[in-house]
Copies of this chain bind each other. A is one copy, B any other.
Amino acid sequence: MAETDFDRIKQQVRQFVVEREWDQFHSPKNLSMALIVEAAELVEHFQWLTEEESCKLSPEKLAEVELELADIQIYLISLAHKLQLDLVAAAEKKLVLNAQKYPAEKARGISKKYSEYKARD
């Protein structure tokens, strides 16, 4: 099977870490911390914006947000590598579970968590 773009990124992330001998710092515990720090840098861009403003970012702002998404993706790849997990397979598995938890006909247009809207049945 042909190598995909996502495979290539995974290899590049891996190589980056190996070349810098950063594996010693990359315990799953530490990587989970690094990942949430990057997630917060993303949140920081949006904290004082209205929802509407967050949909219409300036090109400069969008370029910054793009790099935050990249940082999260990179740490997610590193963590999955460390735990020997496959992100695509994991996401696929989770989507099946989500479909059971949030059946389309019940969840339509409702943002409540499953436990909340179920209680209202």
Contacts and interface: CB of A to CB of B under 8 A. Distances in A.
A48 B118 CA distance: 17
A43 B47 contact: no
Interface residues of A, number: 77
Interface in A2-58: 2, 4-6, 9, 12-13, 16, 19-22, 24-25, 27-30, 32-37, 39-52, 54-55, 57
Indicate how many identical chains form the complex. 4
Interface in A72-100: 72-74, 76-77, 79-80, 82-83, 85, 87-88, 90-95, 97-99
Most-contacted residue by chain B among A6, A32, A85 (CB, 10 A)? A32
Contact of A83 (B21, B29, B39, B65): B65
Contact of A36 (B6, B21, B40): B40
